[in-house]
Amino acid sequence: MKRIFSAKTQKRKDAKVELFKLRNYAIKIFKISAPLRLCAFAFISLFAFATVQAQIAVKGETVWTMAGEPITNGIVLIKDGKIEAVGAASQIQIPSNYKIISAKVVTPGLIDAHSVIGLAGYLNQPQDQMQIETSSSMQPELRAIDAYNAEEKLIEWVRSFGVTTIHTGHAPGALISGQTMIAKTFGKEVEDVTIIPTAMIAATLGESALESGGKSPGTRAKQVSMLRAALIKAQESIRAADNDKNKNQNTKNSGGNKNSPANLNDSNPGAKNPNSVLKTPPTPAYQSSPGQQNQNESNPSSDLRSDMMQKVIRREIPLMITAQRAQDIMNALRLAKEFNIKIVLDGAAESYMILDQIKASGFPVIIHPTMFRAGGETENLSMETASKLKAAGIPFALQSGLENYVPKTRVVLYEAGIAAANGLSRRDALAAITIDAAKIIGLDKRIGSLEKNKDADIAMYDGDPFEYTTHCVGTIINGKVVSEIVR
Amino acid sequence: MKKNLLSFLALFLFVCSLYGQEKPTAFINAKIIPIVGQPIEQGVLIVQNGKITAVGDARTVRLSSDVVQIDVSGKIIMPGLVDSHSHIGEPAGADGSAPIQPDVRILDSVNPRASSIQRAQAGGITTVNVMPGSGHLDSGQTLYLKLRDDANTIDDLLIYDKDGKYMGGIKFANGTNPMRGSGGFPGTRAKSAALVREQFIKAREYREKIQKAGKDQSKLPPRDLAMEMLGEVLDGKRVVHFHTHRHDDIMTALRLQKEFGFRLVLHHVSEGWKVADEIAKANVPASVIMIDSPGGKLEAVDVRYETAAILDKAGVLVGFHTDDYITDSRLFMRSAALAVRAGMTRDKALYGLTMANAKILDLDKRVGSLEVGKDADFIVLSGDPLSVYTHVLQTWVEGRKVFDRTDPKDYLIAVGGAGATNDKLIHISCFDDDFGGQK
């Protein structure tokens, strides 16, 4: 059996223990409040994760590019935050001024196709739980960017396992809980990290989104009825606006948010090529101030709710519909067909029961975490669902999902490992948290694989990434080393 | 007539199976990890009548002529896993009426047919401490169970001590979970400790009254189930399984132990790494939970993968637990593997899944290792116990196979799927195999 830790690694770990002890000591002495404690931690963290600005050459005994076969003794050159070149060591000359980082296994930075971290804080107290708002069962106007805490501890946590991009936002549990966003996992403010501010609209069908005490929706049929009513209202608003424009001979296109993964080469949702609904042009980083952001909005009216539903009708933004039971998944597909909208199926515990219908729809699936607990509407979930979707040719990704207790978040690396132990090939399992996840969130031109001109997002491991006893030894985002913790 | 014959056959087979195999069975050619002693590359394990009769190297262990041989080449055999803290069987102990309820038995609450028990078998767990929850300072008595197959009633799973009493401990908790702040429940940590001390002092007085009464029945105090039970705790007959996360809560548990002298096991110990030396000095074992990420509750924000390794290095006896449903019984070995990821040695991590927990449950003479004379509780693995790709292929309890991954019904339990979480339908007939688990 190989030795797990080098002496250096152990030393580093010991140092980290000391750091924790020191911090704890400081807390004891000053009896500082919880928020202050977080600040103190962040402050210490700044020193711990000092970023490296130099150009970098990453050498890997195995480099999983996810764009072709893995390379033995490969090199990834990084320049100005982008990947400059990828290839075998025999073919790539490392410029002399490049800092060399070596690892046993190198993969693209991992992508968590559906999370709630940044909104659902690790303390799990009312003041840090921003993933769901309960005053109304349909609130598509709630923006994830207005709630995202880029320095939340769980973001740092998943980053230390190699996760570089998360699709996160409002949680399942309401008929429409709000918007989702896509962010890199390193940066101080939401403006620094966001790639797509409004990625999808989070909807939920089934038991977990039922209201009680006479409030709607109280049944499955009511859930669909309410969604249909909202979509019909959006259709009519669009029609009315178009009529007005025709009257005014205004030919200006109503436009839309071009930063959404829904700007897809859409054709029809039943397209034979399942990737056709997933393609999207690369989108620039979201660096703009709120004022600039408005230029991208389609002249927002005061009815923010209807505006968002109109974007769904116009196929600019997909509904991500969390549905676990087969009947709820079918409800989602029926809805998508009726309104010709884009959807992404989420959770989908019973998806293996209706593979043909899902396949025919062409819509992708973001499967529940492999280790998700079975019970209630997920009672029939299986660790083999990923392999069954793969065999059926249905595009899918894995996710960390929503956790309301302990652990407060899962780690997609682990979830993919369990999928790999249950019928999925290691390569397909890795794809489900890299390139295939990138396709579903509409960013495969930019992230998800190690290819020239893509973002330099890289994860490094000291062995098979899926093995429990392997460590993530470093994470690079946009060409910067953002985690050196051995975890 | 035919029906009678069938019934007779069924009864006969059932009785046969109850008494285990008369003939010795040898599992040959596996790598054996006995936990106590070095791993054996080419091993033999012989079991008979529910006990281990031989374990050793294929070159030295002699097989008698009547032995039934089972070839398990390329596989790994290790002891059945012992889980020192679980909630399988859908147990519910104390109710909301009071914060301290030692009179409540989890015995009266466990569903022996629950699918969670089958999932534990699929995870290689053969012995388990089923506990009530942590929403009370004391939520009642716990139960040590053997996960024998086809339990019709809870009695079929019990473990009896040498006095013929079924075994179990008692569950205590401190920190935030019991701090409900109303209905007699404490609102602060100091109040939590005060309420517990008060009850133990009462129990001491109750015990003294009984001792004073001697043989004079008329002087005995009226029976009090709660006081009787805390008396057992004070007498060291019943171990306190103490749910505790934060470093100061851990120290409070140790302080109570010192004051009242009860036998203590610390459970979860999320911040145990901060007070490792203190735990070691108190000579108290720890049952550690391995959680994917920190937080989820205030007292778990500093939970660390390194806890088990740090406690072990400090000299603490370290076991692991699933806390099922918090972690999945089918993935119990993962807990040990994550501890190795964070610096624990392989041997100590595997010990923490088996012998350490056997000691924690006072069952180390019977389970936890593959040694002659111990119960024939073992698992057959497809590979390294610490690998994510390894599956439990078979689970054996007292010489009977209770899980077999090649059996479609068992496979369904192992990976999940339609009907996997249904309670088990118990059948009596041994050959009526199509009717066992699922509809």
Work out the minimum CA distance from A108 to partner chain B, whole angstroms: 21
d(C-alpha A198, C-alpha A169), whole Å: 9
Of B295, B304, B331, the CB nearest to A124: B295
Helix H segments across A31-76? 34-48
d(C-alpha A427, C-alpha A447), whole Å: 17
Q: Which residues contact A28 (CB under 8 A, 6 or more apart)?
A: none
Helix H segments across A31-141? 34-48
Q: Which residues contact A447 (CB under 8 A, 6 or more apart)?
A: A108, A109, A111, A164, A165, A438, A454, A455, A457
For testing the chain A interface, which of B305, B388, B393, B405 should be mutated: the one with the most A CBs within 10 Å?
B388
State the pLDDT confidence band at A299, using cuts at 50, 70 and 90: low
Structure token digits, residue A8:
């250096």
CA end-to-end span of chain B, whole Å?
A: 29
d(C-alpha A388, C-alpha A385), whole Å: 5
Q: Give chain A positions within 8 Å (CB) of B334.
A: 468
For testing the chain B interface, which of A8, A25, A355, A469 should be mutated: the one with the most B CBs within 10 Å?
A469
Q: Is the distance from CB of B352 to CB of B318 less than 8 angstroms?
A: yes
d(C-alpha A347, C-alpha A308), whole Å: 23
Q: Is the distance from CB of B357 to CB of B368 less than 8 angstroms?
A: yes
Residue A384 pLDDT > 70, yes or no? yes
Residue A231 pLDDT > 60, yes or no? yes
d(C-alpha B192, C-alpha A39), whole Å: 31
Residue B208: HSE in the Cβ half-sphere, 13 Å Cα cutoff: 6
Of A153, A384, A421, the CB nearest to B295: A153
Structure token digits, residue B436:
């066992």
- Contact between chains at A409 and B293 (C-beta distance less than 8 A): yes
Q: Residue B52 pairs with which residues in a beta bridge?
A: B47
Percent of chain A with pLDDT over 90: 77
Residue A249 pLDDT > 80, yes or no? no
Q: Give chain B positions within 8 Å (CB) of A10.
A: 343
A456: nearest Cα among A479, A473, A475: A479
CA distances to A295, B290, B320, B421 from B331, in Å: 50, 11, 12, 16
Chain B: residue whose CA lies nearest to A25: B274
- State CA A133 to chain mean position distance: 21
**pLDDT at residue number A16:** 52
The residue with greater pLDDT, B243 or A279, is B243
- State CA B206 to chain mean position distance: 31
Q: How many helices (H) and strands (E) does chain B have?
A: 11, 17
Please state the rounded mean pLDDT for residues A289-307. Answer: 59
Structure token digits, residue B244:
């505790």
**pLDDT at residue number A153:** 97
Q: Give chain B positions within 8 Å (CB) of A421.
A: 388-391
**pLDDT at residue number B214:** 92
Residue A474 pLDDT > 90, yes or no? yes
Exposed, middle or buried: residue B227 (CB in 10 Å: 0-12, 13-18, 19+)?
buried
Residue-wise pLDDT for A110-148, tens only, equals 999 999 999 999 999 999 999 999 999 999 999 999 999
**pLDDT at residue number A265:** 39
Residue A20 pLDDT > 80, yes or no? no
**pLDDT at residue number A21:** 54
Q: Give chain B positions within 8 Å (CB) of A24.
A: 247, 274, 302
Chain B: residue whose CA lies nearest to A122: B295
d(C-alpha A421, C-alpha A419), whole Å: 5
Chain A: residue whose CA lies nearest to B293: A407
Residue-wise pLDDT for B13-27, tens only, equals 444 455 544 699 999
d(C-alpha A426, C-alpha A448), whole Å: 16
**Lowest mean pLDDT: which of A286-295, A345-354, B52-61?**
A286-295
d(C-alpha A48, C-alpha A127), whole Å: 27
Chain A: residue whose CA lies nearest to B341: A469
d(C-alpha B342, C-alpha B335), whole Å: 11
State the pLDDT confidence band at A54, using cuts at 50, 70 and 90: confident
Q: What's this model's pTM, rounded to 2 decimal places? A: 0.87
State the pLDDT confidence band at A293, using cuts at 50, 70 and 90: very low
**How many Cβ atoms are within 10 Å of B208's Cβ, its own excluded?**
11
**pLDDT at residue number B8:** 53
A399: nearest Cα among A365, A356, A376: A365
Q: Which residues contact A444 (CB under 8 A, 6 or more apart)?
A: A278, A279, A280, A435, A438
**Lowest mean pLDDT: which of A218-232, A274-288, B247-261?**
A274-288
Q: Which residues contact A382 (CB under 8 A, 6 or more apart)?
A: A349, A352, A388, B415, B416, B417, B420
Given a cut of 70, the residues of chain B with pLDDT beneath it are 1-22, 426-439
- Which amino acid is present at A185? T
d(C-alpha B364, C-alpha A161), whole Å: 37
| Helix pair angle (A220-248, A304-313), 10° resolution | 90
Of A4, A13, A422, the CB nearest to B415: A422
The residue with greater pLDDT, B3 or A229, is A229
State the pLDDT confidence band at A300, using cuts at 50, 70 and 90: low
Q: Is the distance from CB of B147 to CB of B121 less than 8 angstroms?
A: yes
Please state the rounded mean pLDDT for residues A64-81. Answer: 98
**pLDDT at residue number B252:** 98
**pLDDT at residue number A246:** 87
Q: Which helix (H) or strand (E) holds A93?
A: none
